[in-house]
């Protein structure tokens, strides 16, 4: 600085007209109790960079833009990744009034949430060129936390190949060690993902918001950089960590104290006292009279006590189609749903149908009063719709279950579509004659085929077109247009993992392994093993591994061990459990046995033939073998899997070697 310039600066300072730059004005955010912590997340892409200003042609530092953004709202927590800062930038320069935690790649902050438990907030960034080790280190840090800890993980994961499009809060991947490591991290910590849509200007979802306690994350919003005047290539995310929870009030109820009751006198009273009642043809009235008599006697000899439920667990309060697919044919399936089925049954028509089935006299009179309100309502509805398949054309198959109806037909030309439409129109006439109606909004069309150019027909029910879908859930099984079970497997894995996460967070004080095992079998494994005879992933190693990982996590939770302390085999032996792959084989063999001996309605002769000694080169014993077409859908069916298992089962106990 020249002497002339420095002299001018001194004169200005002595005049007292200017002061040193005080920095941005800071007003502490007013805390709004009961509404949670407001969190701001952004990927800065260098806070030291200068970007063009909106007001003039000059450039402004991103730190200044960050200060304007933060102080213009009431953010309690600000998470930033890719700051590109170094020692030359002091923490006090960034956001005066905030406590700054600067970490390399991963930052962790402990939040003390009022009226609740502690939550951990992670901010994470994965460089695009890093390998799966970074997820393993992060997973190790997460696993060292308490089971009941709420964890919020947000950051730029740089995983554009991960599929979040299956309407599930857990990811799906087609392979790759990096993606698999991330999916393991999400599953092991029971995370759910909350951000929907893209988070990058290029159209990818790179930034993720994960949490193992979904009830504490609320009000998620994403903004483009232009909306908040902060230039970068990632979207800005706002969300709220809920502070207070509306817990259910304890419910007081009276129960019988049987340990202080006189059971002998109660037994004598029930045996000796006459049962005086007005007998009617109404089964509900008879049941009410008997129940009143029983409880009056119980109240005489058994005292009551009042209890409060202070802690309640959170979980309380195609065979023809497959053959057509392998022949490169097409099958159209119509899923129909009755509107308010049990409440809409015409009793006059139902009584007339009962007469046709031979119900007459006093038996018919017994049904006259309160037909559908009794416990026989679902059974009577089945009787009501029992004649529905009779009006469907011969080559159109019908499947009925309660109020769900399914029609399917092999489609080779437009004439077949017209025939299926004719059957649908007949069903519509049947509903009008029987004073029922279909819920058209829930009726769907699914075309199952591998053809590149299938025959598309617009099926109508009355005057409305049925909606065409690529997948449909029916009786708990999600069927797709190519009979792929990926969507179904992802759905049940996500649901089972979510339930397991709830158990892990809520049962931290439950140390009894048998009780934990019972909870797993009844609430988690039941989800994974439902209808495995249909969808068992014998032809998909990835699906099989995905399902098995849930049990791996469950056995660690049951045995209260961490990853690496006990092998999976040791945990299974300690808990007397089978791997799910073996468990599915057992279920397949039970299904084959029931089919073989006609316990279920499956004609086993359509699929296998019995071969005696000497007629096959593969074995010296008699065997069931598949029918001629070895490339059809049976190559991965329950029947084929059972035959493979039977090959290793001895013919008699004498053949077992010691």
pLDDT at 227: 86
The edge-to-edge listing of strands for the beta sheet with 106-112 is 106-112, 118-125, 150-156, 207-211, 192-193
pLDDT at 376: 65
Instruction: Find out whether 62 and 230 touch, Cβ atoms under 8 Å.
Output: yes
Query: Whole-angstrom Cα distance, residue 362 to residue 374?
Result: 17
Q: Read off φ and ψ for residue 45, nearest 5 degrees.
A: 55, 55
pLDDT at 284: 74
pLDDT at 17: 44
Strands 444-448 and 397-401: unpaired
Assign 464 to helix, strand or coil. strand
pLDDT at 391: 86
pLDDT single digits (tens) 601-611? 776 666 666 55
Cα separation values, 369 from 42, 356, 373, 632, Å: 66, 19, 9, 53
The set of residues, in sequence order, having a beta carbon less than 8 Å from that of 85 and lying 6+ positions away, is: 47, 48, 102
pLDDT at 631: 41
pLDDT at 162: 81
Measured in whole angstroms, the distance separating CA 6 from the mean position of its chain's CA atoms is: 71
pLDDT at 20: 41
Quick one: three-class SS letters along 542-583?
HHHHHHHHHHHHHHHHHHCCCCCCCCHHHHHHHHCCCCHHHH
Assign 350 to helix, strand or coil. helix
pLDDT at 259: 77
Instruction: Find out whether 511 and 559 touch, Cβ atoms under 8 Å.
Output: no
Residue with tokens 């469907």: 392
Assign 391 to helix, strand or coil. helix
DSSP-assigned letters across all residues of 624-646: EEE-S-TTSGGGGSHHHHHHHHH
Query: Whole-angstrom Cα distance, residue 372 to residue 381?
Result: 8
pTM beyond cutoff 0.75: no
Q: Read off φ and ψ for residue 202, nearest 5 degrees.
A: -80, -5
**Which stretches of 229-301 are DSSP H helices?**
263-272, 283-301
Angle of helix 133-143 relative to helix 177-188, nearest 10 degrees, comes to 10
pLDDT at 315: 29
Residue with tokens 């035959």: 643
Measured in whole angstroms, the distance separating CA 622 from the mean position of its chain's CA atoms is: 45
- CA angle, 154 as apex, 148 and 159 as ends, to 5°? 120
Query: Whole-angstrom Cα distance, residue 640 to residue 228?
Result: 60
pLDDT at 323: 61
Q: Read off φ and ψ for residue 289, nearest 5 degrees.
A: -65, -45
Query: Whole-angstrom Cα distance, residue 380 to residue 373?
Result: 10
pLDDT at 625: 55
Pair of tokens at residue 505: 């967070």
Measured in whole angstroms, the distance separating CA 1 from the mean position of its chain's CA atoms is: 69
Query: Whole-angstrom Cα distance, residue 59 to residue 231?
Result: 12
pLDDT at 310: 43
Q: In order of start, what are the domains of the chain with their CATH numbers?
A: 8-241 (3.60.10.10), 253-307 (no CATH), 317-480 (3.30.70), 485-583 (no CATH), 586-647 (no CATH)
Query: Whole-angstrom Cα distance, residue 545 to residue 581?
Result: 9
Pair of tokens at residue 578: 């089978």
pLDDT at 184: 85
Which residues sit opposite 309 in a β-bridge?
251
Angle of helix 263-272 relative to helix 283-301, nearest 10 degrees, comes to 140
pLDDT at 645: 64
Residue with tokens 């023809």: 320
Instruction: Find out whether 100 and 133 touch, Cβ atoms under 8 Å.
Output: no
Query: Whole-angstrom Cα distance, residue 43 to residue 157?
Result: 11
The set of residues, in sequence order, having a beta carbon less than 8 Å from that of 168 and lying 6+ positions away, is: 490, 491, 494
The set of residues, in sequence order, having a beta carbon less than 8 Å from that of 657 and lying 6+ positions away, is: none
Q: Read off φ and ψ for residue 455, nearest 5 degrees.
A: -80, 120
Nearest by Cα to 251 from 335, 209, 308: 308
Weakly modelled stretches of the chain, pLDDT under 70 = 1-35, 54-57, 104-118, 165-170, 172-175, 243-253, 275, 277, 308-328, 363, 368-376, 537-539, 603-658
Angle of helix 541-559 relative to helix 580-596, nearest 10 degrees, comes to 120
Cα separation values, 523 from 13, 166, 315, 450, 577, Å: 75, 23, 9, 36, 15
pLDDT single digits (tens) 62-72? 888 888 888 88
């Amino acid at each position: 600085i020249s002497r002339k310039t420095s002299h001018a600066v001194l004169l200005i300072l002595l005049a007292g007209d200017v002061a040193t730059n005080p920095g941005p004005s800071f007003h502490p955010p007013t805390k709004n109790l009961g509404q949670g912590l407001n969190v701001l997340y952004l990927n800065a892409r260098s806070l030291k960079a200068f970007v063009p200003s909106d007001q003039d042609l000059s450039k402004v530092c991103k730190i200044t833009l960050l200060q304007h953004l933060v102080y213009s709202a009431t953010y309690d927590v600000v998470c930033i990744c890719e700051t590109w800062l170094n020692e030359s930038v002091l923490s006090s320069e960034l956001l005066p009034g905030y406590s700054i935690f600067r970490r390399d790649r991963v930052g962790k902050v402990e939040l003390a949430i009022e009226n609740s438990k502690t939550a951990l907030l992670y901010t994470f960034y994965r460089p695009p060129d890093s390998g799966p080790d970074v997820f393993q280190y992060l997973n190790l840090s997460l696993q060292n936390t308490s089971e009941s800890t709420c964890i919020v993980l947000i950051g730029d994961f740089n995983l554009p190949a991960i599929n979040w499009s299956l309407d599930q809060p857990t990811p799906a991947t087609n392979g790759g060690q990096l993606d698999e490591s991330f999916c393991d991290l999400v599953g092991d910590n029971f995370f759910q993902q909350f951000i929907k849509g893209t988070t990058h200007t290029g159209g990818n979802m790179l930034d993720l918001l994960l949490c193992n306690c979904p009830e504490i994350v609320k009000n998620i919003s994403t903004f483009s950089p232009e909306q908040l005047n902060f230039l970068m290539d990632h979207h800005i995310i706002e969300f709220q960590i809920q502070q207070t929870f509306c817990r259910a009030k304890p419910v007081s109820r009276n129960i019988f104290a049987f340990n202080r009751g006189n059971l002998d006198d109660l037994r004598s009273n029930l045996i000796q006292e006459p049962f005086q009642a007005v007998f009617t043809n109404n089964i509900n009235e008879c049941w009410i009279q008997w129940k009143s008599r029983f409880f009056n006697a119980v109240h005489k000899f058994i005292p009551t006590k009042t209890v409060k439920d202070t802690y309640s667990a959170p979980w309380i309060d195609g065979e023809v189609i497959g053959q057509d697919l392998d022949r490169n044919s097409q099958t159209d399936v119509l899923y129909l749903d009755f509107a308010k089925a049990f409440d809409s049954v015409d009793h006059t028509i139902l009584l007339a149908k009962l007469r046709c089935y031979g119900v007459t006299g006093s038996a018919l009179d017994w049904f006259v009063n309160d037909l559908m309100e009794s416990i026989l309502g679902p059974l009577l509805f089945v009787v009501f719709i029992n004649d529905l398949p009779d009006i469907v054309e011969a080559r159109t198959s019908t499947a009925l279950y309660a109020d769900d109806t399914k029609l399917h037909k092999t489609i080779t030309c437009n004439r077949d579509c017209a025939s299926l439409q004719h059957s649908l129109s007949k069903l519509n006439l049947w509903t009008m004659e029987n004073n029922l109606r279909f819920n058209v909004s829930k009726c769907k069309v699914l075309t199952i085929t591998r053809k590149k150019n299938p025959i598309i027909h617009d099926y109508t029910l009355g005057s409305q077109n049925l909606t065409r879908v690529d997948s449909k859930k029916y009786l708990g099984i999600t069927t797709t247009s190519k009979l792929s079970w990926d969507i179904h497997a992802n759905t049940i894995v996500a649901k089972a993992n979510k339930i397991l996460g709830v158990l892990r967070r809520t049962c931290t004080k439950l140390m009894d392994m048998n009780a934990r095992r019972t909870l797993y079998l009844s609430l988690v494994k039941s989800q994974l093993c439902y209808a495995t005879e249909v969808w068992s992933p014998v032809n998909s190693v990835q699906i099989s591994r995905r399902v098995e990982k849930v049990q791996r996590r469950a056995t660690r939770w049951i045995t209260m061990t961490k990853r690496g302390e006990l092998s999976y085999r040791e945990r299974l032996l300690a808990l007397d459990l089978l791997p799910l792959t073996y468990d599915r084989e057992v279920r397949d063999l039970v299904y084959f046995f029931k089919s073989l001996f006609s316990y279920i309605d499956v004609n086993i002769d359509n699929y296998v033939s019995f071969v005696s000694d000497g007629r096959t080169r593969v074995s010296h014993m008699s065997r069931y073998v598949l029918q001629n077409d070895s490339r059809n859908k049976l190559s991965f069916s329950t029947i084929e899997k059972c035959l493979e298992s039977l090959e290793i089962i001895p013919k008699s106990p004498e053949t077992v070697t010691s």
